[in-house]
Amino acid sequence: MKSPRIMLAAPASGSGKTLITCGILQALVNRGLQVASFKCGPDYIDPMFHQRVIGAKSGNLDTFFTDPATTRYLFGRAAADQNISVVEGVMGYYDGLGGVCLEGSSYDVARTLDIPVVLLVNCAGQSLSVLSVMKGFLEYQSPSMIQGVIFNRMSPMIYERLREIAEHQFSVRVLGYVPPIKDLDLKSRHLGLVLPHEVEELKENLQRLAEILEETLDLDGLIALSQEAPSLSYHPPEFFQRAERKPVSIALAKDEAFCFTYRDNLELLEQLGARLVPFSPLEDKEIPRECRGMILSGGYPELHARRLSENVSLRQSIREAIARGMPCIAECGGFLYLHEELEGPEGICYPMVGSIPGRAYGTERLGRFGYITLTARQDQLLLAQGEQVRGHEFHYWESENCGESLEAQKPVGKRSWSCGHGTKTLYAGFPHLFYYSNPQVALNFLKKCEESPCLS
């Protein structure tokens, strides 16, 4: 497949990757191009933002979660029929697992997918010194995959002269600069909590940024570089060919409180025969009655704890369905929702579903952050004893009852811990699972759903 593609990477976090990526995506959409966007790593937030605010089809690319062939498949399937694909890097370009290896880094994704990379160099407080940064990144690995550079936070007074020096010394294309821009920033809350009344303001800001980038970047050169990417071959995984199943309806929690679900997980379930039926724990009075299974997505239930608690009939509907044996996956936010009580940000505890004994409460720090491999300690809904799936944890809330059905192991080092509630019909825990790391997870869930009676 001929797939024009580009990666925007940076020497470090805080270099302006997300802001510039969003501005470039908006500019490309404004030009009428069909654009796919991707985020390296496990982050839900940027892809959700790209899709909701900018309107670009978006997903994740993660070489810890998936082997090279699967990574190419997930990219190729999503990029098909698009005019250009833009991949946003994660952290520093070479920063991988545990901060000490290349696996899982933006560079690892770039070489897996043969993507031309444009390095975004933060020039605040320096001028000629940025060339030493470029030199280090170009020479650290061979090939570095870096074929272009954009100077961020650079004065137009110095840009032309520095561009000439850079292009003379290095075999890379200088694709423009981004001047210092006041009053335009994308705070983490905006990226993760885009409220309905904020969307228009964000769109206006990104339109303003896109107009600036049309003037200061060589967007035609960026598009031309993307078109030089070599053809990409990929194939559907073999299990698709042996896993034809009858359609089965699965209730999917989807609203402001429950919005974190990997797109690839949902599309995998659909390809295997699931019919996903969205419902809102904030608004609906009961689970869709035609459903035989349920997914309680991650999200922000703690910020909506009062409204979730006041929806008594829906809480009761979920509690009764789980007690009757409806297969249920509850990740992170969904796991919090299943507790007897959930503390809101103001410190008040509210009654929740009650399927998990105990209380979930806020903390002052990020808990057990990062990649993990999960091993089942006994046969359960998603895994047989000893089987594994890969995932990620990111939460500021904690539980009095995290569970002990799985063992979580960090990919670098010896740290491990018990987590998760796993029964024949339930997975509930903080880890977000990526199904393509072990597709048997999706197959096991659907098989159990097929055996379950619907509510109606």
* Token pair listed for 205: 């800001």
Is 332 annotated as catalytic?
yes
Query: 348 Cβ partners below 8 Å, 6+ apart?
Result: 305, 306
Residue from 22, 40, 259, 332 carrying the catalytic annotation: 332
Cβ atoms of 177 and 215 within 8 Å: the answer is no
Q: Write the DSSP string, 13-54.
A: TTSSHHHHHHHHHHHHHHTT--EEEEEESS-SHHHHHIIIII
Q: Which spans in 229-324 are helix H? A: 263-271, 305-310, 312-323
Query: 112 Cβ partners below 8 Å, 6+ apart?
Result: 63, 68, 71, 72
Beta strands in 400-448 (DSSP E): 406-409, 416-419, 421-422, 426-429, 432-433
Q: What's the one-letter identity of residue 222?
A: L
Q: If we measure between CA atoms, which residue out of 327, 422, 334, 424 comes closest to residue 374? A: 422
DSSP designation for 454: P
Cα Rg, the chain, nearest whole Å = 23
Cβ atoms of 237 and 439 within 8 Å: the answer is yes
Cis status of the peptide bond prior to 278, with omega within 30 of 0: no
* Token pair listed for 143: 């090939």
Cβ atoms of 327 and 292 within 8 Å: the answer is yes
Active site residues: 332
